[in-house]
Amino acid sequence: MKGRVLGSSLAIVIVLCTVSVPVEACTGITASYGERVLVGLNEDWPSHNNFNVRFVPPREDRFGYVVFCATELPYDDLRAGMNTEGLIVDTFLIPLTPMNETDKQVFPRNVMAMILEDCSDSGDVVSLFEQYTLWSTHSTGVWDIQFFVVDKDGDSVIISPGSDGRIAFTSKEGIYQVVTNFNPVMPELGWYPCERYNLGVGRLHRIESPENITVDSFRRILQWTGRERLTAYSVIFDPEVGDMWVFYNYDFEKCAELNLLDELEDGAHSEKTSMLNMEAFVASETQFTSSTFTISTDSGNEVAMVIVGGAIGVGIGFVVLFVAKRKIR
C-alpha cells in the first residue's frame, strides 16, 4: 500500500513537471516575392546531440532528399527535409486533436519519407493527405502533429486536424507564412497566443521586395524565435537551387553551408549535426536593419516558464509526497 501511494505521488510529480508548457516548441517561416523563396526552421528539442543529417540519392521513380533525423528513438524519426524538386516539409507538435478518418488507408510507409520521395510540390502533398491518414487515426483517434510544406514556387500549406475531425489545409495568403505549435484551424485548443508566432509575423510583414528576403534576415528571425537552451538546430533552405545553411545549438554566428545536389553526388551518407563543418557566417546585405530587429525582452519567457513550471511541479510533488508519508504513518 505504501509503495502504491508513493508511486501514484511520483506519477503526479512527473505529470506536473511536464504539463506546464510544450518543451518541443519549434518554429517555421517562409516568404516569397517573385522568384525569391526562403524557408527557415527551428528544431527545439532538449537532446541536442541526437540529430543526424541524412542524404538519400534518387532511385527508380523516387526523388533524392536531405532529412534531419532524431536518433534517440527506436523508430525512424524524420523531422524536416528538402528533396531534389525543391519541396520542403517539417512537422510540429500540437495539442491532441480528435480525428475521424478511419475510412482512409494509413500511409503505406513513413509519411515524411513518402512526401520527400514522391511529391514535387505542395499540391502533391495535399493530394497525398486527401488519400491517406496517419497511423494514429486508427490506433488512438487523435493527432498530435501538423505538417508545414513549402515548394520552390513559394506555395506553402499547413496540414492539420480540422474542426470536423477531417484533415484541414491552411494555405499561405500573401507573401509569407509562419507556423509554431498551435493549430491554425483551432487555436483555442492550446499553445495560443504564441510569442514566437507573433515575432515571426511582426518581422515578415515588413517585406517590401525580394531584396528583403535574405539568409541573414531569416537567420535573425530564427535567432529571436529560438531558445538558447532548447534549439538543437536551425536550417534555412533555398529550394530553387538546393542550398541550405545549418546552425547548431543556437549558435547563429557559425553555420554549415551545403548544397543538396553536391552532397548527393557523394551517394547516401549521414552526418551528426554536431559534427558538420561549421564556419563563421558572413552576413549579406539586407534591408532589415538592426533597428528593425529588436530582441524582445520576453524572448526567453517560454524557456523560463519551462524552468519555473517544472520547479512549481516539483514543489507541489514534494508536498504530495510529504502528505502521503504523513498519512501512511
203 is a domain residue = yes
pTM: 0.82
Query: What CATH code is carried by the domain that includes residue 129?
Result: 3.60.60.10
CB 26, CB 90: distance < 8 Å: yes
The distance from CA 283 to its chain's CA centroid, rounded to whole angstroms, is: 24
* Of the candidates 47, 53, 41, the residue with the CA atom closest to the CA atom of residue 277: 53
Structural domain including 148 reads: 24-298
The pLDDT assigned to 284 comes to: 64
Tell me the pLDDT of the chain averaged across its residues: 84
79 is a domain residue = yes
152 is a domain residue = yes
308 is a domain residue = no
323 is a domain residue = no
321 is a domain residue = no
| Least confident range of 59-73, 109-123, 305-319 | 305-319
Helix, strand, coil distribution of the chain in percent, nearest 5:
30, 30, 40
CB 235, CB 258: distance < 8 Å: no
The tens digit of pLDDT for each residue in 33-91 reads 999 999 999 999 887 778 999 999 999 999 999 999 998 777 789 999 999 999 999 99
The pLDDT assigned to 24 comes to: 54
Running DSSP on this structure, what letter comes out for residue 104? S
217 is a domain residue = yes
Task: Quote the number of domains for the chain.
Answer: 1
* Beta strand residue intervals within 194-290, DSSP E: 231-238, 243-248, 254-259, 269-272, 279-280
Provide CB contacts within 8 A for 187, sequence distance 6+: 193
The pLDDT assigned to 291 comes to: 37
